[in-house]
Structure formats: C-alpha cells, structure tokens
Structure 1
C-alpha cells in the first residue's frame, strides 16, 4: 500500500531520514513521534521488535542510552516509557539545580564559601628561626588551614605533626 501512495523517491527520503534520526535537544516525546512515523519506511532495516528497540535507544541522548542499555527493555513501549521517565527526572534535577543557583546568587555577600586565595600557599612568617632556616637551605612553607583558615606551621589543625 505504501508503494501505491508514496513515490519511490519519497520512500527513499523517509528511509534516509530514519537512518539519521537522533533525539538531539528535543524531548523523548518529540523524538518518539517521528520515530513511529518513519519506522514504517524501514521495515527491511528493522524487521523485529528488538531491532526497533535497539534503533530507538541508539538515537537517544547519551544518559538515556546508558540507562536503557542497563535496563534492557524488550519492547519499544518499554523503552519509550523508561526514556520518558528518565527525561522527566532529568528535567526535575535541572530545575532544582537552577533554583539552587538562583538562590545562591540572591544571597549576595552572605556566602559561606571562602575564596580560593585564602587557601593558597603562603610564605612562613619571618622570625629569627626562619632566617636561620633560610641560611641552612631548609625553607618551610605553610598553608592556610582549610578548616579554620589559620596557619599551622608543620602541624594540622588538630596539632598533629605533618
């Protein structure tokens, strides 16, 4: 019946489109719709349900493809439902990240994070002992404690020797 209503050049174009069909930036639902429309033009390429599943999964984005490869759906419907569930969870996750990011940006200068420069290596404070060490060639470096921000020369924040 397709041969009667679709000229051969249209069928060939649909077949080619199906071969290169990918989810890209579209949702799973937006990818599934043309997949179902074009799968009819590639019956020789995908003769079985398992072949349909493999082609559908191969066209999904990396994270969805990875998840579905592990779950091994047996039907196209199972693959589609798993992919839509995963896509929904990813969207919720992205939304919560965006919400947290906006909330942190709104807090302004009340950030609890220390700047990176607070934790960079600092030269040891000069002292009579320090100059004797420098003369002998043994120069000691100190680092700001990541926990309290103070210098603990040769010791960690609990007083243990390094």
Structure 2
C-alpha cells in the first residue's frame, strides 16, 4: 500500500476516484505526508497535467481546497468536451479537410415572376420560363392546380 501510494497517479480515473484512492492509501504512508501541506503537494503531483497546472497557480492550502478546485476544473473540462461532441460527430469520416456541401440555391425557383409589362429582352433561343409558386416546377404561362 505504501508503494502504491508512492506512485499514485490520477491517470484515466476521475478526480473523485483519485481522491478516494488517495485518502485510502494515505493512512498507510503517514511518513510521506505528515503535514497538510505535504498532502496537498502529493495530491496535486498525482493529478493530470491540466489540473496540476491550474492548482499550482491557485496554491491551495488544504487538501479539501485542492480537491474542490480539481473537481471544479474536471467538471468544466467534461462540459467542454461534451460541447465539442456534436462538432466531432459532424466532422467524422471526413477528417480535418472535409468541406461542407454547397447549399442548393432556391432563390431562382421562389423568385416572383416579373410584371407582365416587363421590358426584359431575351434571345430567340430562350423561352420565358418561371418557377411555379406552388410546386417550384416550370409551367408554361400558368401556375399548376396543385
């Protein structure tokens, strides 16, 4: 138990699990952590890099402060990872260079037909065709009946 406490690291476990294991093993290695400050230093040293970096800056004075700060940071990291999941799922399969499909342009179909007295000039090869307001298809001279 002493050896396990000596090499205890958070690894892939949560902060809560790491803290629980830390407290279980600390009672077997009282010589390693005789003071509260020693406990804080050992606890912080076993945390993952991001948590260790944050707690080194905040300098908690008690094990409880260190634990609460680490759990808050862990919770924020989980929320942040959760918010990126939909983006990750959207980008799956295409890698970082995947491009979005271009949107179909519906403006031409839904554009209102010009007034009958329009001065629009067209070549003889092109017929006047406008999209139906109901179905979007081209009808010659009238709207569809549905």
Q: Residue in 1 aligned with 2:80?
A: 93
User: Is 1:54 matched up with 2:41?
Assistant: yes
Between 1 and 2, higher relative CO (CA 8 Å, sep ≥ 6) is seen in 2
Q: Could you say what secondary structure the match of 1:41 adopts?
A: coil
Q: So what's the TM-score if we normalise by structure 1? A: 0.56
| Runs of 4+ more than 2 Å apart | 103-106, 108-112
Question: Cα RMSD (Å) of the superposition?
Answer: 2.1
Q: Which runs of 5+ in 1 are unaligned?
A: 1-13, 113-162
- Rg comparison, structure with higher value: 2
1:83 to 70, 89, 100: 70
Residue equivalent to 1:26: 13
Displacement after TM superposition at 1:110 (Å): 3.1
Q: Give the paired residue count.
A: 99
Which whole-Å CA distance do the structure 1 matches of 2:40 and 2:101 have between them? 48
Q: TM-score, normalised by structure 2?
A: 0.62
For residue 102 of structure 1, report the CA deviation from its aligned partner.
Answer: 1.9
Which structure features the higher share of helix residues? 1
Q: Aligned partners of 1:103, 1:96: CA distance in 2, in Å?
A: 12
